């Protein structure tokens, strides 16, 4: 199973287009290219994070571990935005049909999510990083949508640490839907195995076009009904 994506970096943008957006080029990297550029991607992560003094090294090492694990996943894909330097990146992989991605989900999984997972139409976005100085204010959403479109996904999925409210709020502002909690054992040695990490499960209905309020409301209603019915 994938580790919690955790430190996905929010963008402060509202999704509006600009001339800067046209100046940025989106480019897919294969596994070999991702391995070759892993140190540059880690630099981008550190520059994009809001790490406290002394935390930059630990954050960089954690990012490199997550990237290395993701690269080994079947169907791994990474997309970068660049001009004269890297401005952002997003990566992930298809969710396996047996649904192990949702292990630890609190309560019944919404039926539509379960069906899309079983049909192989869910793609997990496990890291989103945008440099704070990027001129394109909608870059994070643009990267996510392009990655989902490239893989003909009907649903995007991600897990965000519940305590990271800034990232959760950023994803919600981009149209993602919070469908519940996932509890998993911590991979931090300082914590007892019985102390789970609490994650928010977020999904983005995608399909043939941009997400709509109807799609999102349907998922939310279905989840509430299953939990309280």
The per-residue DSSP string of 31-79 comes to HHHHHHTHHHHHHHHHHHS-PPTT-HHHHHHHHHHHHHHHHTSTT-EEE
- H-helix or E-strand spanning residue 23: helix 19-23
* Range from 26-35, 44-53, 82-91, 196-205 carrying the lowest mean pLDDT: 44-53
pLDDT above 90 for 48: no
| Domains in the chain: ranges and CATH | 19-228 (3.40.630.30)
Sheet holding 77-82, edge to edge: 25-29, 77-82, 86-94, 122-130, 155-161, 196-205, 177-185
Share of the chain above pLDDT 90, in %: 58
Place of tokens 């100085």: 133
Q: What is the mean pLDDT of residues 126-139?
A: 84
Give the tens place of pLDDT for each residue, 104-117. Answer: 999 999 999 999 99
* Other beta carbons within 10 Å of 121: 18
Using CA atoms, how far apart are residues 188 and 173, in angstroms rounded to an integer?
Answer: 30
Q: State the average pLDDT over residues 167-183.
A: 93
130, β-bridge pairs: 88
d(CA 24, CA 71): 24
User: Which pLDDT does position 194 carry in this prediction?
Assistant: 59
CA distance 95 to 117: 7
């Amino acid at each position: 199973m994938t580790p919690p994506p955790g430190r996905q970096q929010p963008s402060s943008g509202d999704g509006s287009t600009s001339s800067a957006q046209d100046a940025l080029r989106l480019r897919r990297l294969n596994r070999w290219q991702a391995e070759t550029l892993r140190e540059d991607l880690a630099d981008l992560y550190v520059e994009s994070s809001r790490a406290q003094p002394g935390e930059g090294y630990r954050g960089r090492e954690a990012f490199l571990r997550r990237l290395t694990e993701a690269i080994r996943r079947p169907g791994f894909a990474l997309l970068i935005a660049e001009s004269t330097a890297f401005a952002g990146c997003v990566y992930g992989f298809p969710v396996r049909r047996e649904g192990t991605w949702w292990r630890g989900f609190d309560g019944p999984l919404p039926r539509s999510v379960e069906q899309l997972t079983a049909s192989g139409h869910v793609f997990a976005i496990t890291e989103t990083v945008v440099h704070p100085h990027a001129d394109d204010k909608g870059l994070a959403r643009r990267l996510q949508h392009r990655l989902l479109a490239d893989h003909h996904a009907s649903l995007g999925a991600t897990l965000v640490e519940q305590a990271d409210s800034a990232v959760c709020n950023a994803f919600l502002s981009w149209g993602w839907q919070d469908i519940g909690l996932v509890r998993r054992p911590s991979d931090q040695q300082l914590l007892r195995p019985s102390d789970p990490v609490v994650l928010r499960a977020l999904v983005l209905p995608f399909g043939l076009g941009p997400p709509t309020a109807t799609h999102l409301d349907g998922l939310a209603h279905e989840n509430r009904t299953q939990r309280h019915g």
